[in-house]
Amino acid sequence: MSDESMPQGRDTHDHDMTYENEQSMVTIPLKEYDKLKEQGQYITDPSLISIIDKIEELTRALRRHIVRKF
């Protein structure tokens, strides 16, 4: 099949070929998998940590103004 017979042309065919191995599997040692799985339970993104710290700071400031009456 030549490039001329394809309605989208060569560029589309090359783009489609990039998905050829998309379902291939990667093998890693079980220890490494367990370590990665454990890390998924923690927040490590610096920007997200910064936001959480700011929320904590604002919560502390609000708590100073709470008056509970029983």
Q: Which residues does the chain have with pLDDT short of 50?
A: 1-2
pLDDT tens digits, one per residue of 10-29: 677 777 766 666 677 788 89
Domain spans, the chain: 28-70
pLDDT (0 to 100) of residue 22: 64
In this structure, what token pair is assigned to residue 40? 């998924």
Q: Is the pTM of this model over 0.75?
A: no
pLDDT (0 to 100) of residue 15: 74
Pairwise CA distance, residues 31 & 37, whole Å: 10
pLDDT (0 to 100) of residue 70: 80
Residues in the chain: 70
